[in-house]
Structure 1
């Protein structure tokens, strides 16, 4: 019967032993080399380790390795692990992965990339991030590596609640915070369960509109001017999606009167406000604007 192995090279081998264990292992290794799962230069497990994983005699694994070495598919050197040959007569070398996308400066190109969503990554302190990560992991209990609470680590949710209260004026309960991979995932989850139609800024981010549309929600456009989104056209909306601190793409900040109007609408109708607070902390000409959630509704 077939045996499966997931070993130290992170490769899944399907060994069919119907014709014998050695023959089955040889065929499985040949197939893995031929289709590129075992790339040229990949180190194989020792015969002792592989025989223990498969439950085969060590001599069986040694004989299979020797056969593939004789065929030129594997190479073995004294004091070194057996590896897949760089080039073999029987199989072409695996195609190297394409190089990662890189940007090269060309004559006449702008000195600064001002496209949205592209921060200056050179300003990120990898050293500080690494030190913080090592400090936390060196003192963390083993259970932090388990799946844990689906809402996210309680320490992270508590830290976020404290920060949002201090920096953004948000009334946040750690028990009601859910950690997602980012705004796009959060919006997709909310669009699937919150009442529609969805009122969204026009113009606004096309990807966010597409996320809501994929959830099957009707969209009501909210015109944007120098004062931000206009709450006068909420109509029958059940949920409104706003970027009040820094409207995309206009850059407008939602006027205080309109902030109060949106919160009053939510209070009076039971509507839901989704606040995308991106760039809320980034103000270089004035004090950062607080989140709409902290604004009292107009009476």
Structure 2
């Protein structure tokens, strides 16, 4: 069952992160890092582990890049929550790092989580082949940097003050970086580790990432902060263009459903071995948080 598989992956990733962080000095910045890496769906790490399983890569190897992507994702959330960006008080139902500690600690904890991600993905246990580790690290740098997530974040911030609301094509391009880049890295990591073709998983991930963001926009309108675990309604209050504001609620839901089918269809070559990844795609548009 998909929910059980997702939970098992989340526990394995959490255990690995706890071991890594537990070996560090017990100082405020490390405690802040641990706080930031607790909770969440672990969808990105799950995609790493599942794509690795699909290509017969041992879980003991795949857990390193799975933990790496979750560390990088946690860094992005810590910084995204800062007053200079989204200024959020809650994340995953808990106080954000800058609220629990202070802004300086949040900045440093985010910095440390980002560099930890590259340490983990470059670890010898990720792969005996240094070229594989280097390729994963290079792809992660591109996905997390100014060609991917950081560019998407920058465009998102700029959109808050623009006089002309973004078009649907512009929002799609923005979210391909902000949300989609890390999802694409995650879903193709197993194929990279196995030296296999990434085309099908890349197609899957691009559709999945966009469906995920549309679902987020829907939750921002329909969800409540207690269930979602963070503030909702902020995009509408700020007058930001979203998939929901441009398409309407029902059309946005329909677009997300179409993307899920596109994602599932792209995995046809894997047969029923990809059923769990197909369930993951369906999960992103039915989740409540």
TM-score range, shorter chain: under 0.3
TM-score, normalising length: structure 1: 0.25
Is the strand fraction higher in 1 or 2?
1
Is the helix fraction higher in 1 or 2?
2
Bigger relative contact order (CA 8 A; separation at least 6): 2
Q: Greater Rg, structure 1 or structure 2?
A: 1
